[in-house]
């Protein structure tokens, strides 16, 4: 199991980049104010986790009713989820995220909550890295059972 801690950061798989993919993982929050996300198709960030934010896509984890309007299942700052399918804090949730060419689909607990075909030229890469967001010192998000199938 992986657990976020500290402050803004990025846990990313640096050994290689990925094209089309099918990513599955379980995650849970400890409180409804916890915040994190899964980043897809970003270029090598070096020491700057902001590269994943500005040049990739983030699949949001955030159900804070008072916080950011970007809720779980959103493709951050691009498209909100079609519905809320998160389980309560302390319970495990399952994401399935598929990316085929420029189409991003997000299932949360077996419910399709987002389906986007991107036309953003800044984020038009057909491959890139994947990573998990460490959002802030107060957010504790846990990840487990991460599996990835890819075409390249």
List all residues 6 or more positions away from 149 whose beta carbon is below 8 Å from its beta carbon. Answer: 21, 22
Q: Which CATH number fits domain 2-150: 3.30.70.250, 2.60.120.560, 2.60.40.2220, 3.30.70.330?
A: 2.60.120.560
Q: What integer pLDDT is reported at residue 144 of this predicted model?
A: 98
89-147 pLDDT, tens per residue? 999 999 999 999 999 999 999 999 999 999 888 888 889 999 999 888 889 999 999 99
Instruction: Give the CB-side neighbour count of residue 88, counting CA atoms within 13 A.
Output: 0
21-79 pLDDT, tens per residue? 999 999 999 999 999 999 999 999 998 888 998 899 999 999 998 878 899 999 999 99
């Amino acid at each position: 199991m992986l657990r976020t801690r500290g402050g803004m950061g990025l846990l990313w798989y640096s050994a290689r980049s990925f094209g089309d993919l099918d990513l599955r993982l379980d995650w849970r929050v400890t409180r409804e104010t916890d915040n994190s996300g899964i980043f897809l198709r970003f270029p090598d960030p070096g020491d700057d986790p902001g590269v994943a934010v500005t040049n990739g896509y983030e699949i949001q984890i955030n159900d804070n009713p008072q916080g950011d309007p970007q809720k779980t299942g959103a493709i951050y700052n691009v498209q909100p989820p079609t519905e809320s399918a998160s389980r309560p804090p302390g319970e495990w949730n399952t994401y399935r995220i598929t990316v085929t060419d420029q189409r991003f689909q997000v299932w949360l607990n077996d419910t399709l909550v987002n389906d986007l075909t991107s036309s953003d030229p800044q984020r038009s890469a057909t491959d890139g890295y994947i990573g998990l967001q460490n959002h802030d010192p107060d957010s504790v998000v846990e990840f487990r059972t991460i599996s990835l199938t890819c075409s390249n």
